[in-house]
Structure 1
Amino acid sequence: MTAPAGTPPLAAIRRSSEDVAGRKNLQLLIQLRWIAMGGQLATILLVHFGFGITLPLGQMLVVLFGLLLLNAVSLLRLKLPKSIGNTELFLSLLIDVATLTILLYLSGGATNPFVFLYLLQVILGAVLLKVWSTWVILITTTLCFAWLAWSGKPLPLPLDHSKGLFSLYIEGMIICFVLNGVLLVIFINRITRNRRQRDEHLAELRQRAAEEEHIVRMGLLASGAAHELGTPLATLSVILGDWRHMEPFKSDPDMAQEIGEMQTQVLRCKSIVSGILLSAGEARGESSEETTAREFLDDLVSEWRETRPVKDFIYRNDFGQDLSIVSDSALKQSIHNVLDNALEASPQWLRLDVHRDDDNLLISVTDRGPGFPSAMLESLGRPYQSSKGRPGSGLGLFLVMNVLRTLGGNLRARNLVQGGAVVMLSLPLSAVTLEEE
């Protein structure tokens, strides 16, 4: 089995994941800019009207209006489908540095205690940007700091450093420190969470790619084995047919019955081989047949019961209004695999329930076996995760999981309080619904 047509390659999905992280980071910068504008406006008004220190209000409000326009443009940019990369984040931070420099120049230059907000820009650059971009941000802020010290005009603040906490300059530095700290804690945590989610998503995609590669190898092996088994099975069928007409076997009822049973098992083996070869090709190809949901499920259950030694089997089909679908051999084999696993765990009793939930097909298989180990439930669907303790076991649910995932469905399992376990298969009906011409 291979991934369905149209499945994007891992590299494309990686780029998509990075674009999602870039958009989230740009959203954080927009939020930070809103907070900065509000804080800067409040500080400017407090200093100008509260402390009686004259500031060029008109020019500073124009700069804040420019930040407002930048945020509006950034919000519009988020709606565009084009990916957001390092360059856009880098330019956005450079604009923030430029506007901060202008505001500081208009309000005391390097003597303004809020000059240490440059550190916030540098730290954000170190977290969000590539290495070269971070160094450019650091060099730029350093040059801006030096320029402010060279050409900035100090505010007419009293030299009252000796007053400690009652000094205006010390109070401004404390406010700047707290503001830097709070913003860094909030936004660095958010940025780190974004990166962690992206890394987890990429790890899941790598695991899925490895599993699909594993499935391809097993599919090739199964297909090759099926081709190789075709000839000996045909030979056995011919020999058994000849034996059945030979006098020594024909006159012995017990021997004739055993030969008939052998022929039945050979036919079953040939049917299994044909199913493997069919599944190795297109599951919805020319060999597929039109059927209905009820007929498909009833037939696969009937076929499974005829060839398995189940003693007490309960089958309940509450699908509701019937629906025309395409008989999918891969799905059929998947349900058989789940039933086989349940039968091995609970040979005395087994139950299969079918329901329809809006546009989804729900199938649950319940047994009275020992249940799943907790470690297996946590890694359900991973290859070679099995409670049977045999080499090579644990592929059944792995293959079922990947078949369902290919069709857009999923598989879940849980242990029952009274003992036993239930495995639940969910599949969108659109994946098997017959397309009308």
Structure 2
Amino acid sequence: MAESNQTFWRGQERSSWIRLRTLILLRWVAIVGQLTAITVAQRYYDVQLELGLCYLAIGISVMGNLTAILLFPQNKRLTEFENFLMVLFDLLQLSILLYLTGGLNNPFALLLLGPVTISANVMSTRSTLIVGAVAIVLTTVLAEFHLPLRTSLGLVLDIPDILLFGNWAAIIIAIVFIGAYSHRVSSEVQSMSEALAATHMALAREQKLTDLGGVVAAAAHELGTPLATIKLTSAELIEELDDRPDLKEDAALIREQADRCRDILRDMGRAGKDDLHLRQAPLSTVVNEAAEPHVGRGKEVHFSEGPAQDGDVQQPSILRKPEIIHGLRNLIQNAVDFARANVWVEAEWTDSRITVSIMDDGRGYPPHMIGRIGDPFMRRRRAESDQRSRPEYEGMGLGLFIAKTLLERSGAELEFANGSDPYQHLTDNPERRGAIVKVTWPRKLIDAQKGDTPVPSGSNTRIQV
């Protein structure tokens, strides 16, 4: 699981998701806005500007856009470095234009936040910090050095120093706050999106394995009788064919059975049949199937099942959903990874609910992370002894997120606690002092016989592909 996750996340940079055409379009909007602002200020308010230099600054931006359109394809997606250069270019171009039009006395100085916000949303932390630092330096320079704004009468349009300082402070604070806020929110949204994509991949893989199991079971079931007949007849032929020419009838029988096997395989088709018996299983069977890959990993896994005080004596048969199996498997894997020697998996049921509890005798969850368990990509620093005992273990973020998401998708509610916590109510056994996970389903959601979606009876049907 850890290796596949590393493969999935390798090279997933957010900046590579942005098309060049998107930034080109935004730059065209900025160019139109800049031309409009200069024209209105010069014609309607008689503000004297260095029009030649202003048009030169805007013309550089126009040439950059035209060059990008001619040299790169429409579906070009920017790398981290290319995106960084594009945003830095826009920031410098805007700063030059502000220098020519009054610096921070120009109310459009607020537009310096634009490149910073873009970098915070699509680039790495390092690139965002560099762009933010450059924006702060340019803002400070523009507060002191700029060409003045003059009216047609020669009057200088200049705001009082206290307001100039307020503009500078407001822009600096906005750069820091909006940049940090946008980057944080964007990172969390992206992490959740990538983690959900990994969850869907895990569920799809588990579904394929379940379908494959159905095909194999159906083939073994339907081919059992003819293959047994072929085996028996072949044994008789081997013993008696040399001196018993009358075994021609047995040879014909072999041919008939071989034809029957061919017909069955043709009837099953490429997709096989949906074996109704494999869509349900006793609760203990599903739990054991989920735990099977981790039973022989050096830790003792203890299983127990039974009704609760007000439950039926008969064990329920539950839906054998891929999300249930894969979710429980991840939780058991986590328990085995952190247990000292023992893991307990307990299943119980009542008339209204079905519960699976997974406990270990390890150190438990870090107390300050109990409320965050299940967040994607949550990490904690590992001690050297932990690294030596589990060098292949990468963390407990994505695996628990996938397990929690899949189980909640099946209708379960999860509770996390430590057995050493005197206030927890999930167990009173002092041996089980490590991590505890309690998974509870409303029985009607997963009961294969009495629930909301009971498994139908009758002949097997084809799997739809």
- TM-score exceeds 0.5: no
Give the TM-score taking structure 1 as reference length.
Answer: 0.43
Give the TM-score taking structure 2 as reference length.
Answer: 0.41
The answer to which structure has the higher helix fraction is 1
